Structure 1
Amino acid sequence: MSSEPFPVTELAKRLESCDDSEFIAILKCLRSPAYVNEQLLKSELGLLVTKTLALLRSSHEIAIWRGCQTAVVICTYNPLVLCAHAGQLLAAIYSKLEQKVDYYSSSTPQTKVLLQTLVFALSSLMNLMRGKPSLSREGLVPKLKAIIPTLITLAQYEPRLTLPTLKILLYKNTTTFRPFANKFRVVLVNLIISEYEHFDKKTKQLLSDNFAYLHLIKLQGSAAEDEAQAHHKSYQDDNWRIGIFSVLSQFKPILDICGEILDLEQDNELQKLINSLTFTNNTKGSEASDFLSGLKLDMNYPITLLEITRRLNLLVDLLSSFLSLPTPYPVRIPLGTCISISEALLSMTRNFLPLRRDVRGDAELSSVIRDLLPQIQFSGIKLLSSISQTYGKLCLSMLPSILGSLELFIPLQQKSSKIDLDRCASLKSEMIGLFNLVNSFLPHMGHHMQEVDFFTKLVEVALHLTKDASTVDLVFNQQATNTLNNRKNLKKKQKKDNSSGSLSDLYTHPEKFKLESSDRLLCEVNHFLRGIISTWKVPSSQQLRILKYTISTAVQFKQQQGFIPKSLLELLRTEVLYPGDERVSILPLAVSLLKESSDEVFDILCHPRLPLSVIHHVKPLPEYVEESFEDEEEEEEEEKKDLVEEDTVAAAVSESLSHSAQEQAITTSFKSKQVVIEELTAVEPTRTTDIQEEPENDIIFKKREREEETTAPEELKRSKIISEATVTVVKQPIVTESKKVQVPATEENGASSDDDSEFEIPNIHLSDDEDDEDDSEE
């Protein structure tokens, strides 16, 4: 079967007349690396480029659209076409874009789709050509002087479409962009002033990023440099730094306006902080913030106070772009000043600052101020979030003051230190931003932070926000207060109003009127609780509440959705690994919840085992060690046998004693005991008894002979002598021999005998000399 690719000439001929499905198949064929062949460049690939240019120059929108797609594909996957024909394709796309921009006012929805395709193709080809010296110098840079003005003009109508491309051109081709900087600044200023609040979040971010990147270029309208400062050394980031301070200088007027609402004289430290935010010397020669006009506020129209929030959001977005965007050279950032501004914004709260006495107390103004102050504080949280994401550990030295300022965002009840949980529920979206900021700080904080009260309050807020809010609670709460008024109105005859709907569902199915917590809130709260449990020892009451929340939420997700989210699973693991002071483990519950899915952590905790890489080597014991073990076992067995034989001999001796002559019985007993002792000594020389030694043998024998002569007649009357011998054996490693054997005697009639009738068996020491003497006597 042939492996040759489909001929390029056939594909080029089918570009104009093919349908949509066939056009997709042709683009897939053009991605093949088989066409990256220099022999095809002048013949077949040249024909393909010619057909593509014909499509781009067509007057039909569908043909232009196909030409743009084909140009992007062949330049992306075929470097030969990119190097040889990218300039021609880029010029054709630009010329068609310029025509469409000139007639934008009369454009149709199809024309707007084509504009998006043209801008996409133009941006893709410029990105492919950028960075390649010859291609960029000969094909890209000469055409940028015509492309940039067209994109700036289109940015007035389609900012989201063109601002990403202009942002890259500002950063990558700053020198080429310089002649058009003032024109672009005018377009940006008009968009920011007139329509900034109407754009979506992504477009707002693009506007602030492009405004910041304009400060890579020193604007021509800037004031002349002071001659007294001309001899000082200039830095590359001077213009960037001027832009930062021009935005920072706009915060102080807003804080002064807040001083007309709150009585800032109650906090001297806050007044000193606000007065220090003056940057007149650092903003000389800058027109960066001149476009921001003054705010028009009127206490008689409280709704105008919301302009403060809009201005703060704009300033925070602009400042965040200056702080977070990458630059071609190092820049100096006033990090301490930015944090001071965020702390001043977070201090605008009624927790500790009262309203000024000259502020009217009507309901409308009070309601606007109540909603305005948390939004001002949230601006400080957004600024801190941008700083934390960009600079991270550089904020650790100022972390205690930052946490103290964040604590002011938690609303408190009036004239009390308790948390206003209902107010926290109304600020749920802002609380998500607070948890996100705290989660960015937690990995760098360690275990020795002193701001424990702040985290205790945050845990309370987090557990409350995770509860599903009911929208009918207010109805039930007001029912009791309205009962009396309703009774008075019942006396009057009322007609049934059929125009209103039935309210029975509010009372029969109140569980259907609930607002569930969002997934983002649960993710941030779970992340926060996981960091708190693994870093600090939470109070026992909160620890149990966290465990209850985790188990109940996991069961709910398991029943309703069939799985447990990743953030909740990580929280379960953390609670098992860090049980707290109560030592309450939820391992069985967690394992039962995850029994259908294998979890490595819980599997190891339930079935602990050594890693497979650990190998234990058992070396054989030396021969002398094995022999010593065998000898010890044999000695233990012999000891047991000897003890059994000793008891048997003693019993036989006691039964064989004669009732006629005591002397003969005593002699027999001595001989039997002597035989037993000899046997024990021969078998186990290391055994000893725990009885003390007796006097010398010679003295005992002489005394016994005298006693036998005096008591011989009386002893003949005795009818029975019972002798018992007891030997206590204790095994010790190596000791000298010492033995004692007692033979107590009892009379036949049961009466106690005299001292003369007691016999003591001495401790006999056997040696080789004594054995010889015994043999000679016999």
Structure 2
Amino acid sequence: MSVEWFPLSSVIPYLEKSKIKEIELTQLITVLARGSTIENASKVDLNHLCARVNTFLSSNDTESRWIGTKLVVVVCTHLEILSSEYTANYLGSLIRILGSKCYIKDEASAPVPAIKTLESCCDALEFIIGNIRGKQTLTRQTLTPKLPAIIGSLLENVTLIPDKTISLLYNLLANNSTTFRPFGSKFETALVSIINNQNFQKFDSALQHKILKSLALISFNLTKNSPSELWRTRFDHFVKELKSTIQIYTEFMSLEEDEDLWLQFNALPSIPADFQPTFSPLQVDLNESSVEVLKVVSRIEVLVNLLVEFLAVPTPQVKVPLNYLVMIGQLLVAINPTFTPIRRDIRDPTLRQTIAYSATLLNHIGLRLLDVLPKFFGGDLLPHLTSILSAVDTLVPVHRTDGKISLNEAGIVDKSELIFASFQTRINYLELVEGFSNTSVLNRSIETAIILLKPRLPDSLANGTEQKLKNVSISDLLADQQLFVTEPADYQKQLLRQFFKVLLTKCQLSLPKQTDILRMVILDAVNGAEVKELLYAALLFPNKEAHASVLPMVKQLLSNDDELMSVFLNPRLPLLPQKRAIEIQEPEEEPEVEDLKRPLVEEERSVKKVKIEDPVVEAEEEPEQPEEQEQPDSDHEEMIFKSVGTISIPEPTLNQQVEEVKPEQSPEQPDEPESELESDFEIPEIDVDED
């Protein structure tokens, strides 16, 4: 069967600048991407194709260059062209495009077509390098000689198109560290410059992740000797820089009033007098604007994310200061105006509110740091489990009423985003344990979860004052009150269900707390059908002190064909083992041996018990025979299991002749007077062995 293919010679005439617009570019790319088009083409047509593509790349016209970057990706998908000498020419042309920057004079106002062409050029380079990597001959002959020029051209455009260049430079840094070594200092300087730029926070999170990951890797990957020691040195350096940045908050808040927080802060590495930070110093002027406080928050977030990237990048065997990371996370979570009040000399209400808001942002940063630690360290965090949960528990808003501390429901609802983030942190750490018993650090979180899961009215409607209700139609409130009810979002409900499941399966809760959770689980299950796993957890992990079961309610909520419910409602006992008689055919002489063994065994058994009415006295008058004494079990075994040729039947002794015979009265004999044998008194049997 012949395969239909499109002749390459029919599209080559369109591969010119004057005729390229006469055909749809997508159709042209589709034809060139087909393997049959290249496989059935002549060598002359292939040379024409490769030469035309290189002509587009070598053009000074931005649009022609962009077309060339798209065509080179398509033709390099075919091994016939990738392994040819044209691949080196393509790499050289792409390097020249990056080196020229598409003739951009002012990077601040660069034209969009030029930026798109440079980005497409980086995509083409990444595609070709990825296809060559792993092929030793192509790597040695084509890629390796071009690597220095590729790295240099990418570094020239790192601030212009950071998204594309940094991704490619990171791959080259990780896979070609020897070739990258001369460019390491330049690359690190460029990365620090990007981070110091005020627009860094405007980058999307994926690009920020690439930049910080590259900075972490280049900090130690290019050294020849002791990379693990350099990793630790750079890590401690950024910990000190983070501590110096957090210290700025001592000007805003009284951190020393929280003793635990202050101890953790002082436990971090001390900052030497000649310390040189990597990033530029912050300039914060609160008199100019209260928003200046957020600069400190942004710098702390960058440094925390950088420490996380130090853990994520490939490293040699290193010693990680885990206690530093835990203390930083707890410290950021503990910065709270409730426990570390804002300084009294700051009286501007706007500034005070901004500082309080910035403290909430720091809490989010601390939670994100604590969230990633179980991923890297797992069970090594168990010694810190209680302290971490205690620190997270301080995020729950409380107030004091009549000397008693109770939850502040309005504050919980207002900080619901932070509270939900804290639930995820608790889940990550509780999943590391089994049977967690110190539930005192979880009681507030359980009550908070129940509050957030309940439907609620807005504060303006729930309060009921005329002043707050003056803009609300009473008829609407009375007729359509359900329209004013708000509930948690779906992802928030799912997070709370996961939290309840972890509590039921991993913790030893008190009966009142578990009862509250079960009540919310049942109510939630009535309204939603996606809580099957949570119902399973409530059913499989009952409280030891509970006197009632949730099985009837769970049965009503789950279908009858549910497998787990079927096991509970119709328990199936395992099958009992059964004995089966197995007939074994034995040789003919074996039954004879068994026949010889059986009488001996019966004789030995008959010796053991003798009735008192037998003439024992006469047996004592006979000369003592050694056979009268019972042989040990081992002697019996030796006697019974002797070989057939040596078996000898001994003459029966007196005791062996005595048989247990019950007297039978013949009907022909006359009745005799009642004797001792016929009395109702039964004489017990005497065991001869005990004499």
Normalized against structure 1, the TM-score is what?
0.65
Give yes or no for contact 2:395–2:419 (8 Å, CA) kept in 1: no
Deviation, structure 1 residue 362: 5.4
What is the match of residue 143 of structure 2? Answer: 140
Measure, in 2, the Cα distance between the counterparts of 1:545 and 1:10: 76
Matches within 5 A, 1:670-709: none
In structure 2, relative to structure 1, the CA distance for the partners of 1:404 and 1:62 (3 Å cut) is same
Per-residue displacement from partner, 1:517-568 (whole Å, max 9, x unpaired)?
A: 233323322222111101223334433443343344444445xxxxx3xxx3
What is the match of residue 463 of structure 1? Answer: 450
Paired letter, 2:392 = L
Measure, in 2, the Cα distance between the counterparts of 1:183 and 1:407: 45
Per-residue displacement from partner, 1:153-180 (whole Å, max 9, x unpaired)?
A: 3331332232211222222222323333
Measure, in 1, the Cα distance between the counterparts of 2:414 and 2:488: 13
What is the match of residue 301 of structure 2? Answer: 313
User: Which of 352, 356, 380 is the equivalent residue of 2:366?
Assistant: 380
Measure, in 2, the Cα distance between the counterparts of 1:68 and 1:607: 68
Measure, in 1, the Cα distance between the counterparts of 2:492 and 2:369: 20
In structure 2, relative to structure 1, the CA distance for the partners of 1:307 and 1:531 (3 Å cut) is same
Measure, in 2, the Cα distance between the counterparts of 1:200 and 1:503: 46
Measure, in 2, the Cα distance between the counterparts of 1:478 and 1:537: 41
Verify: 1:576 aligned to 2:539, yes or no.
yes
User: Which of 429, 435, 438 is the equivalent residue of 1:447?
Assistant: 435
Deviation, structure 1 residue 67: 4.2
Matches within 5 A, 1:453-492: 453-468=440-455, 470-471=457-458, 473-475=459-461, 477=463, 479-480=465-466
Name the SS for the 1:293 alignment partner.
Answer: coil
What is the match of residue 613 of structure 2? Answer: none
What is the match of residue 239 of structure 1? Answer: 230
Deviation, structure 1 residue 187: 2.9
Measure, in 2, the Cα distance between the counterparts of 1:584 and 1:297: 63
What is the match of residue 87 of structure 1? Answer: 88
Verify: 1:326 aligned to 2:223, yes or no.
no
Deviation, structure 1 residue 64: 4.7
Deviation, structure 1 residue 315: 1.6
Name the SS for the 2:282 alignment partner.
Answer: coil
Paired letter, 1:403 = L
Matches within 5 A, 1:543-582: 543-558=514-529, 564=530, 568-580=531-543, 581-582=545-546
In structure 2, relative to structure 1, the CA distance for the partners of 1:374 and 1:584 (3 Å cut) is farther
Measure, in 2, the Cα distance between the counterparts of 1:98 and 1:533: 61
Per-residue displacement from partner, 1:80-134 (whole Å, max 9, x unpaired)?
A: 4323243233233333344454327565444444443322221111122234333
Deviation, structure 1 residue 606: 5.1
Measure, in 2, the Cα distance between the counterparts of 1:243 and 1:411: 38
User: Which of 199, 213, 218 is the equivalent residue of 1:209?
Assistant: 213
Measure, in 2, the Cα distance between the counterparts of 1:470 and 1:501: 13
Give yes or no for contact 2:56–2:67 (8 Å, CA) kept in 1: yes
Matches within 5 A, 1:166-185: 166-185=169-188
Give yes or no for contact 1:181–1:217 (8 Å, CA) kept in 2: no
Measure, in 1, the Cα distance between the counterparts of 2:123 and 2:151: 15
What is the match of residue 609 of structure 2? Answer: none
Measure, in 2, the Cα distance between the counterparts of 1:377 and 1:367: 16
Give yes or no for contact 1:388–1:437 (8 Å, CA) kept in 2: no
Give yes or no for contact 2:115–2:161 (8 Å, CA) kept in 1: no
Measure, in 2, the Cα distance between the counterparts of 1:609 and 1:87: 72
What is the match of residue 268 of structure 2? Answer: 277
| Range with bigger deviation, 98-107 or 378-387 | 98-107
Verify: 1:342 aligned to 2:329, yes or no.
yes
Per-residue displacement from partner, 1:441-461 (whole Å, max 9, x unpaired)?
A: 2222221442x1222221222
In structure 2, relative to structure 1, the CA distance for the partners of 1:249 and 1:86 (3 Å cut) is same
Measure, in 1, the Cα distance between the counterparts of 2:103 and 2:473: 58
Measure, in 2, the Cα distance between the counterparts of 1:318 and 1:112: 28
Deviation, structure 1 residue 316: 1.0
Matches within 5 A, 1:49-88: 49-57=50-58, 64-65=65-66, 67-76=68-77, 78-84=78-84, 85-88=86-89
Give yes or no for contact 1:41–1:81 (8 Å, CA) kept in 2: no
Give yes or no for contact 1:163–1:206 (8 Å, CA) kept in 2: yes
| Range with bigger deviation, 79-88 or 435-444 | 79-88
Per-residue displacement from partner, 1:124-145 (whole Å, max 9, x unpaired)?
A: 1112223433322332233232
Paired letter, 1:412 = V
Paired letter, 1:576 = L
Give yes or no for contact 1:299–1:365 (8 Å, CA) kept in 2: no
In structure 2, relative to structure 1, the CA distance for the partners of 1:133 and 1:29 (3 Å cut) is closer
Normalized against structure 2, the TM-score is what?
0.73
In structure 2, relative to structure 1, the CA distance for the partners of 1:616 and 1:53 (3 Å cut) is farther
Measure, in 2, the Cα distance between the counterparts of 1:618 and 1:482: 82
What is the match of residue 258 of structure 1? Answer: 249
Measure, in 2, the Cα distance between the counterparts of 1:88 and 1:290: 40
Give yes or no for contact 1:237–1:330 (8 Å, CA) kept in 2: yes
Name the SS for the 1:445 alignment partner.
Answer: coil
Question: Gaps spanning 5+ residues in structure 2: where?
Answer: 584-659, 672-691
Matches within 5 A, 1:221-236: 235-236=226-227
In structure 2, relative to structure 1, the CA distance for the partners of 1:50 and 1:454 (3 Å cut) is same
Deviation, structure 1 residue 608: 5.3
Deviation, structure 1 residue 27: 5.1
Name the SS for the 1:767 alignment partner.
Answer: coil
Verify: 1:190 aligned to 2:176, yes or no.
no
Paired letter, 1:767 = Q
Give yes or no for contact 1:74–1:81 (8 Å, CA) kept in 2: yes
Verify: 1:533 aligned to 2:504, yes or no.
yes
Measure, in 1, the Cα distance between the counterparts of 2:202 and 2:414: 24
Give yes or no for contact 2:389–2:441 (8 Å, CA) kept in 1: yes
Deviation, structure 1 residue 513: 4.0
Paired letter, 2:382 = L
Name the SS for the 2:157 alignment partner.
Answer: helix
Measure, in 2, the Cα distance between the counterparts of 1:507 and 1:98: 71
User: Which of 371, 395, 398 is the equivalent residue of 1:409?
Assistant: 395
Matches within 5 A, 1:360-399: 360=346, 363-399=349-385
Name the SS for the 1:237 alignment partner.
Answer: helix
Give yes or no for contact 2:9–2:45 (8 Å, CA) kept in 1: yes
Deviation, structure 1 residue 603: 5.2
In structure 2, relative to structure 1, the CA distance for the partners of 1:103 and 1:344 (3 Å cut) is same
What is the aligned-residue identity percentage? Answer: 25
Deviation, structure 1 residue 24: 5.6
In structure 2, relative to structure 1, the CA distance for the partners of 1:18 and 1:593 (3 Å cut) is farther
Measure, in 2, the Cα distance between the counterparts of 1:201 and 1:513: 35
Measure, in 1, the Cα distance between the counterparts of 2:141 and 2:551: 68
